[in-house]
Amino acid sequence: MKIVGITAEYNPFHKGHRYHIEKTREAVEADCIIAVMSGNFTQRGEAAVMDKWTRSRIATEEGVDLVIELPFLYACNRGEFFAQGAVDILQGLGATHISFGSESGDLEALQKLAEDMVRRQAILAESRMHFMKKGFSFAKSLQLASEHILGSEKTQLMAEPNNILALEYLKRMLYWKEQGCVLEAVTVKRHGSGYFGKDAASGYAGASAIRRMIEHDAAGAKTYVPESVHAKLTSAHVPAVMEKEMFRLLRYELIRSGREELSEIYCMGEGLENKLKKEIVSADSLKNFLSAVVSKRYTEAAIRRLLLYVLLGVRGPDPLGKPYARVLAAGERGRRLLRHLRKDKEQQIPIITNINKDGQAVSAAGKMLEYDCLASDFYNLISGRSLYRFSDKVIHPYIKGDHSMKS
């Protein structure tokens, strides 16, 4: 059986995503396509414009066979951990291939660079620390270190966001290859506009451009999204509204918390808690607060993620646990795969279809799953939705052609 894994945010799902799914199924002749998707918060630390249940349902209706949630602590993290969590889940579900978009479309070049980075990871880590001490961010330091060690000609691929994530997927796939599990890579060259742009002639626009349209001109997004998505855009959550509510709660939390308490937050380093407490007093909006805190060392995405860790109380140097597969939506092929996996005695990854009934899997997921639920509660709070009706413990996965998932 050919099982292809995709990692996505679908924030929101657009025609470029559908193109990726179609080209992937065509290239691999896939029997089943699994999407590991971010939950209610994205890798950049932003609230999604539609909740995870709505986005996973759309994905299933648009060609994905099974949608699994990428746990919050992996989804809302830097690229290395984002990719690690996704690839590990897909490997645990028996994926034979992993497909990802890239600006280059040159799989051979991407694989060669990933292999070089893995082979020379020790010296790259040393060089990266050198650049971080000069005040550069983690991502920028890695890029500069790679240019220094591997040469700028090879590392020019790292200038584009999808290529960067592609390299992280490939590096994690190399890890699994060393463990005796070979995952074949498939890349689909990004079609149409870039992440931040739009091209009405081709009908393609990046997710960031579409989110801006939702805020200012939702009708204008019709050209760039499938009809099933456009019908839901009028009820999409406006980012500015959610950020206003988030900022109100953040101000209280930063004022309430002591410096020592804040210093224990995941990814809080180098006295950054002092900067947060200082700037929150005079900032009158999240935008202004970010402007005051963001620096060459700390990117906006890194600060946004850190603020979510503060609000959710994520503490400790390494809260990441082993991944699990929590089902958000499934079609018939996805259901068949789940039935097969449940019968497989060698199946290792915990599978959760009902958070209230899958006791053993829920116990295995532990604190990581608690953060998923807490992140959902927080999302419901800042979007003005019922904490009960939209609770992770109340909503069941969407099953194409059915209403709920039976465990």
Predicted pLDDT at 407: 38
Helix and strand tally (H, E) in the chain?
Answer: 19, 10
Q: Which long-range contacts (CB under 8 A, 24 or more apart) does 294-299 make?
A: 295/135, 296/135, 296/136, 296/137, 296/140, 297/132, 297/135, 297/136, 297/137, 298/137, 298/272, 299/137, 299/139
Is 116 within 8 Å of 340 (Cβ atoms)? no
Is 64 within 8 Å of 33 (Cβ atoms)? yes
Rounded distance between C-alpha atoms, residue 76 and residue 46, angstroms = 9
Place of tokens 């950049």: 44
The first and second tokens of residue 23, run together, are: 């080209």
Q: What does the angle CA 362 – CA 365 – CA 371 come to, to the nearest 5 degrees? A: 100
Is 97 within 8 Å of 188 (Cβ atoms)? no
Predicted pLDDT at 138: 92
Rounded distance between C-alpha atoms, residue 131 and residue 140, angstroms = 8
For the CA atoms of the chain, what is the radius of gyration?
21
Predicted pLDDT at 100: 97
**Quick count: other Cβ atoms within 10 Å of Cβ 177?**
12
pTM, whole model, 2 decimals?
Answer: 0.93
Which of 397, 301, 305, 309 lies closest to 358 in space, CA to CA?
A: 397
Predicted pLDDT at 344: 83
Rounded distance between C-alpha atoms, residue 49 and residue 234, angstroms = 11
Q: Which residues of 390-407 are buried (b: 16+ CB within 10 A; e: fewer)?
A: bebeebbbbbbeeeebeb
H helical segments located in 120-178 = 121-133, 138-150, 152-155, 161-178
Is 321 within 8 Å of 362 (Cβ atoms)? no
Q: For each of the chain's 407 residues, which pLDDT tens digit applies? A: 999 999 999 999 999 999 999 999 999 999 999 999 999 999 999 999 999 999 999 999 999 999 999 999 999 999 999 999 999 999 999 999 999 999 999 999 999 999 999 999 999 999 999 999 999 999 999 999 999 999 988 899 998 989 999 999 999 999 999 999 999 999 999 875 554 556 555 678 888 888 888 777 777 788 899 988 888 887 788 888 999 999 999 999 999 999 999 999 999 988 999 999 999 999 999 999 999 999 999 999 999 999 999 999 999 999 999 999 999 999 999 999 999 998 886 777 999 999 999 988 899 899 999 999 999 999 999 999 999 999 999 999 999 877 444 43
φ/ψ of residue 361, rounded to 5: -65, -40
Q: Which residues of 45-68 are buried (b: 16+ CB within 10 A; e: fewer)?
A: bbbbbbbbbbbbbbbbbbbbbbbb
Predicted pLDDT at 194: 52
Predicted pLDDT at 405: 43
Among positive and negative, which fits the CA dihedral 79, 301, 137, 281?
negative
Rounded distance between C-alpha atoms, residue 285 and residue 290, angstroms = 9
Burial class (CB in 10 A: 0-12, 13-18, 19+), 160: middle
Predicted pLDDT at 202: 66
Which of 13, 164, 183, 198 lies closest to 89 in space, CA to CA?
A: 183
Amino acid occupying residue 114: A
Rounded distance between C-alpha atoms, residue 329 and residue 119, angstroms = 38
